[in-house]
Amino acid sequence: MDSSCVFKTHYYKQRTKMKNLFTSLLAGLIGGSLVLALFIGLSPNEKVNALNTAPTAKLVNNFSNSAPFDFVQASERATKAVVHIYAEESTELAQRRAQENQSKRRQRSMDDFFSMDDFFGGDLFGRNFYRPKNGTGSGVILSEDGYIVTNNHVVGFADFIEVTLNDGRKVKATAVGKDPATDLAVIKIDANDLETLEFADSDLSKVGEWCIAVGNPFNLTSTVTAGIISAKGRDLDLIKETKSIEEFIQTDAAVNPGNSGGALVNTDGELIGINTAIATPTGVYAGYSFAIPANLVKRIVKEIIEFGDIDRKVSLGIGGYNIDEKFKSEYNLGVDKGIYVDEVERGSVAQYSGILPGDVIVNVNKSTISDFGDLEEAMKFSKAGDTMKLKVLRNGESKIINIKLKRSM
């Protein structure tokens, strides 16, 4: 094809486009003129009604409808109620702790007498170099008169605690009590009219919801980070106690050393958890943060304020088997489910309360017991001094036995 043919083809295409464009513009002008003419002819009231009922263009963004616009209000509420905590152990307390640790090691084995801990606690000439602990963390104000919840690992070792409020005031705090099994503690400052955070119902929180973490990482006060709830009910064996209660909320809000004891807050500025731990290979944030849910915090705080230190190192002192069809048939039992007591430890609360080998435990504190899992759940929040009511079957007859729990060794 020669150049003149190419030029003509291009010319006719451009001409056709211009013609179509002119036709569209003309149709638009005619239509607009007709509408304008009709609108001018309407009465004032009719004009208002026409404008109110006219269809309007609307941008639809489904994501923006489900996500918050910002975290400003929630952050303002939370930062006022989150405090910085400095905790320190005195030399006397550090010395007593070191001596107790040495005593425990010697009881376990005389081979541990010259362990590394002994050398770090002193020298071969009997001169002791005790190293008092200290650290920083966060806390959440629960009441206008100064009750504050934090983590046990933030203040549990200390006999000097200082709180820095959001307005910069520094106040000495006293320990109210701690619960190592949940890693929670309550401290108290002498103050009034403090800003507080309301508890949310953490059971209603859903995976995928937005949340913010408020605390003092690396001593950077009033720091806010955002993320979502990644999972609920995590039991990860993070609390290194003989007995631990873990129901962590997992989030991807950035949490670092110093955030411990701080607030995990929903978009309404309500407390849904106490930030407690991170999963990390480096010691700093690596994407996984864990908070104690608000409903558990509320329950434990109430117990601590009422009773002080909580000791959950308790046990019944029994051994036995879960009853199934085979076990029922072999032992000729008249019950389908429960725990068959095979042995009772000497000196245990079970022995002193009258539990005997051959008893079948079927109920504890009005909760049906089908197996050891049910018994563990029934005793989940038990503490030294509590009384448990056991229903047992003995020789085919029902019997109620009250057991007062005490600290187990």
Residue 5 confidence (pLDDT) above 80: no
Helix residue spans in 124-247 (DSSP H): 152-155
State the chain's maximal CA–CA distance in angstroms.
Answer: 114
Query: Position 367: which residue type?
Result: S
DSSP string covering 247-312, please? -EEEE-S---TT-TT-EEE-TTS-EEEEEEEEE-SSSS--SEEEEEEHHHHHHHHHHHHHHSS---
Query: Position 149: which residue type?
Result: V
Per-residue pLDDT reduced to its tens digit, 314-336: 999 999 999 999 999 998 998 99
Question: What is the CA angle 181-221-147, rounded to 5?
Answer: 45
Residue 122 confidence (pLDDT) above 90: no
Residue 364: predicted pLDDT: 97
Q: pLDDT band for position 67 (50/70/90)?
A: low
**Mean of the per-residue pLDDT values of the chain:** 83
Cite the active site residues. 153, 183, 260
The separation between the first and the last C-alpha atoms of the chain, rounded to the nearest angstrom, is: 102
Nearest to 168 by CA among 256, 79, 39: 79
Instruction: State both tokens at 244.
Output: 């631990």
Cα dihedral 395, 400, 404, 407, rounded to 10, equals 40
Q: pLDDT band for position 129 (50/70/90)?
A: low
The model carries a pTM of 0.77
Helix residue spans in 167-214 (DSSP H): none
Per-residue pLDDT reduced to its tens digit, 131-176: 889 999 999 999 999 999 999 999 999 999 999 999 999 999 999 9
Give the residue carrying structure tokens 């950035």.
254
What Rg, from alpha-carbon coordinates, does the chain have? Answer: 34
Residue 110 confidence (pLDDT) above 50: no
Instruction: State both tokens at 8.
Output: 């003509």
Q: Whats the size of the chain, residue-wise?
A: 409
The values of phi and psi at residue 25, to 5°, are: -65, -40
Q: CB within 8 A of 77, min separation 6: which ones?
A: 195, 197, 265, 269
Residue 69: predicted pLDDT: 65
Residue 40 DSSP SS3: helix
